[in-house]
Amino acid sequence: MSKLSRIPHRIAPLLIAAATFALSARAQQGAFSVGSATAAPGQKATGYLDIPAGTDAATRIPVVVIRGAHPGPVLAIVSGAHGTEYTSIIAVERLITQTDPADISGTLILVPLVNSASFLQKVPHVNPIDNKSMNRFYPGKVDGTQTERAAYIIPKQVVERCDYLIDLHGGDLDENLRPYSYWTTVGNEAVDKASREMALAFGLNTIIIENDFPRDPNASRYLNSTALTRGKPAIAAEAGYAGTVETDDVNRLFRGCQNVMRYLRMMAGNVQFVQGPVWIEKVETVTSDNEGIFYPIAHRGTYVAAGTEIGYVTDYFGRTIQQIHSPAAGVVLYICALPSMNKGGTVANIGVVAAKTP
């Protein structure tokens, strides 16, 4: 257990806020700009991150700056890297419409939809302009494809301007997903401790421990790693499944973000830390050996033993060609939500529960 985790929860937020004030000149009042959005204290402003044309088309990423009436840290919340993970996008839209600058300290940077082409064309996982995932190419390339150019602009306009970051996701069109968050460590003790506390404050009862993510800021790959390798505490969180927008899942993400804001002393109210979460120490990805029609047997959130059958694949004549078993004991973090199955396609992710609390 970390030293910070032994600090009473009512005191830890004060220490984090004090550290932020000491380290960030942005705790002082004044106008604050991200892209074309500029907000003075007590104001909310909308604008865009403009991604110029290059080897392919230009695009615009909407951004909102909510400048609190009082000094405080800068928290960035980003969603829609995968444009059909709708729950995360709707949760950030709620934050945009329901956050009053008069009620907060510090500044919110809200990026509701990174991948508009995916959203509009209903294409899961990738940006259909260049067929690349918009959460796999950080810190990007100024002369790359649209995804890479966006991954170059976002760190400069969003990550470098914030003190903390939350990257929101949700079950994509083909993912029947159990809600969970990620605690990603990068070997910076202070950053790792603060990120752990953010994950506990976010409130999802399953937390995946990631100790093997990139630690080189020049090869950060993921958005949360991009923040972490630059000394900014960050978490990722997911809720939603199969592209649906369920009220409970939207609320999980919306309230989780608000609770992190309370933890950072950006909002009034008591912090509700999740109690006794399930810590996942390893994720086993299960793939199909065959193209065909997938039939799930296990469900998201189900605990399975090693060797348990979790689904099967048939050919197009209804003949079973593969029975799929869990490679380890653990919990089904997500399982394929659609009948369509490609050879090598992801069937499920099985989370191996940690033997002890980290």
Q: What pLDDT was estimated at residue 29? A: 63
What one-character-per-residue DSSP string does 156-190 give? HHTGGG-SEEEEEE---TTEEE--EEEEE--S-HH
CATH 2.40.50.100 domain position(s) in the chain:
282-353
Per the CB < 8 A criterion, the answer to whether 306 and 353 are in contact is no
In the chain, the N- to C-terminal Cα span, in Å, equals 6
Instruction: Provide CATH code, domain 4-263.
Output: 3.40.630.10
Q: What pLDDT was estimated at residue 344? A: 98
> Tokens representing 200?
């506990």
Q: What pLDDT was estimated at residue 5? A: 39
pLDDT by residue (tens digit) across 217-268? 999 999 999 999 999 999 999 999 999 999 999 999 999 999 999 999 999 9
The answer to whether the pTM exceeds 0.85 is yes
Q: What pLDDT was estimated at residue 28? A: 52
Per the CB < 8 A criterion, the answer to whether 322 and 297 are in contact is no
Tell me which of 2.40.50.100, 1.10.645.10, 3.30.110.60, 3.60.20.30 is the CATH number of domain 282-353: 2.40.50.100
Half-sphere exposure of 55 (CA within 13 A, CB side): 12
- Measure the CA–CA gap between 305 and 193, rounded to whole angstroms: 32
Q: What pLDDT was estimated at residue 17? A: 46
pLDDT by residue (tens digit) across 258-302? 999 999 999 999 999 999 999 999 999 999 999 999 999 999 999
Interhelix angle 86-98/247-263, rounded to 10 degrees, is: 50
pLDDT, mean of each 10-residue run, the chain (358 residues): 41 47 52 97 98 97 97 98 98 98 97 98 98 98 98 98 98 96 97 98 98 94 98 98 96 98 97 96 98 97 98 98 98 98 98 95
Of the candidates 311, 309, 354, 350, the one whose C-alpha atom is nearest the C-alpha of residue 332 is 350
What dihedral do alpha carbons 174, 180, 186, 189 form, nearest 10°? 170
